[in-house]
A and B are shown apart, each in its own frame.
Chain A
């Protein structure tokens, strides 16, 4: 089942902050965050595993609340290069144990950063 991302679109000025949320109706094994620029492949940002950890590098960080089945991506002091579509991908345990490998992406959040 597809996770739900919010908001659908964000417009920022350089230096402003943004939060993108990803919510699932199913228990999650892990959450993967990607950024995709127009006409390019998705680029990996980070993975969060169940356990409620928070990760980050540079000015992009993320949290994962296993109990609420939610993850949030935090972008601070945004730069022009942050523009693109952000996707969360969620992995849910699959019955039978033989179908691991399925990542289901949310519908995406379009982030636009203006000078």
Chain B
């Protein structure tokens, strides 16, 4: 099973709202990722968690707050977003991150976010 699940599929929020995106995998993967993808653009890396610890933050604004409560779950907490934050948010996981080359990243279906 190479499934990564994400909820919700769609989310509409106002600029003053607080919401969370959820990502789950049960493949025993120890690396999890958040990407942001705008229409007709490639995915852009936001955060990387390795063994439940944040290892990469790509200078993402603090209105995005990631959390990895356990090895299967990854959350992205959203607060005071701007309309330009509207995008497809993709979660991915891979077996691990080591000093060797990256392993296959498996993507979830994404959450399509609209900020009004």
Contacts and interface: CB of A to CB of B under 8 A. Distances in A.
Nearest to A44: B104
Contacts, number: 66
Interface secondary structure of A, over-half rule: loop
B-side interface size class? 20 to 34
Contacts of A49: 101
A100 B45 CA distance: 13
A91 B56 contact: no
A39 to B, nearest CB: 9
A52 interface: no
Interface in A91-112: 91, 97-108
A81 to B, nearest CB: 18
Task: Please indicate which of the listed interface residues B31, B41, B42, B97 has the most CB atoms of chain A within 10 Å of its own CB.
Answer: B42
Contact of B43 (A29, A40, A44, A105): A105
Contacts of B50: 101
Interface in B70-103: 90, 97-99, 101-103
Q: Report the 10 A-B pairs with minimum CB-CB distance, sorted nearest first.
A: A105-B42, A30-B101, A41-B107, A101-B48, A101-B97, A91-B102, A29-B101, A41-B109, A42-B107, A100-B97
Given A98-B55, A101-B55, 14 more contacts: A30-B101, A34-B107, A42-B107, A91-B101, A97-B99, A99-B55, A100-B99, A101-B33, A101-B56, A101-B97, A103-B45, A104-B45, A107-B42, A108-B41
